[in-house]
Amino acid sequence: MSTGAAGLSARYSALVCDLDGVVYRGEAPVPHAVESLVRVDQPIQYATNNASRPPSAVAEHLSRLGVSCGPGDVATSAQAGAWILRERLAEGARVLAIGGPGVAAALEGVGLHPVAPADRSHDVAAVLQGYGASVSAAELGEAAYAIQGGAVWVATNTDATLPTDRGVAPGNGSLVAAVGRACGRDPDAVAGKPEPPLYLLCAQRLGLEPGQVLAVGDRLDTDIEGAVAAGLDSLLVLTGVDDLDACLAAPAHRRPTYVVPDLRALHDDPETPDGDRPPLRALWDAIAAAWSAGDCGADESVTSARRRHADDVLAGLLRR
């Protein structure tokens, strides 16, 4: 974990920012997120594993919260899946679109022809499977038939669950698993995090190498793991799914470059204390020390002490 004297956002040419748990929770903004993001001078791509909504709907949501955003600033796993398929298929190729309206829109956006599950009058070259609240067993069956017939199979993402305001529902990964069980194999490719394509699509849009871009997220097993796989530095913000304890226990392929309490840290000088608050650098050093102890097989008392120290530093950072 290393950086210079200026704020984190200034160290990179652009940001790729997750949405749920980072910018908003449902319709409500995450505290300090919007005001922090509007102060970022670099371009931002907002990247989401949610394939059901088209980018225009996501951009409207962000705009309602106060984030200046157009559809071109949003990248979905459906778009990443369509990007993968466009590399493999001829323009105008027929692709079975499973999921919400964002899936068909993504295919149209790259010059492919989306085919609805109810319209299987001709063969399809591929299947793009994404989440949709109304996806039925019959539609999953059409996907399985096409795949068994030789169609290329791309899943937008494999998130097993989907948090809702009523509890946890099966996510796209559960639906992909059902098709895979019928076909006896896994998808040919997965577009969303933690796989690299969604991040690589964002970097291509920005005209930058992955190392010039900072990935911001709240989940170690998707946002951070995907950033590591794609070659981006990453920032774990502790406003969503994963907390500091989860970060301290993370294996190497899920370890972020930086950890911050909230997005105000994008503009903080990591090396300088703020009143009685320690600098961000102190938290990163404490986390690195805890990882090192665990990796080296240190005595549990040493590892526990280092984790407690990281907790204490975070508590100090939260005093504002």
pLDDT the model gives residue 162:
79
Is 18 one of the catalytic residues? Answer: yes
pLDDT digits (tens, 9 = 90+) for 220-230: 999 999 999 99
88 contacts 64 by C-beta, under 8 angstroms: no
Query: Secondary structure of the chain: what % helix, strand, coil (to 5)?
Result: 45, 20, 40
pLDDT the model gives residue 168:
79
Choice among 20, 223, 242, 268 that is catalytic:
20
Give the Å distances, CA to CA, from 139 to 102, 144, 210, 243, 300. Answer: 16, 9, 36, 37, 51
Choice among 18, 218, 223, 242 that is catalytic:
18
49 contacts 81 by C-beta, under 8 angstroms: no
Is 73 one of the catalytic residues? Answer: no
- Mapped onto helix, strand or coil, the DSSP state of residue 258 is strand
Q: Which residues of the chain carry a pLDDT beneath 50?
A: 2-5
pLDDT the model gives residue 165:
64
pLDDT the model gives residue 135:
95
pLDDT digits (tens, 9 = 90+) for 126-151: 999 999 989 999 999 999 999 999 99
Q: Which residues fall within 8 angstroms of residue 168, CB to CB, at 6 or more apart? A: 161, 162
For residue 34, the tally of other CB atoms under 10 A from its CB is 17
168 contacts 161 by C-beta, under 8 angstroms: yes
Predicted TM-score of the model (pTM): 0.92
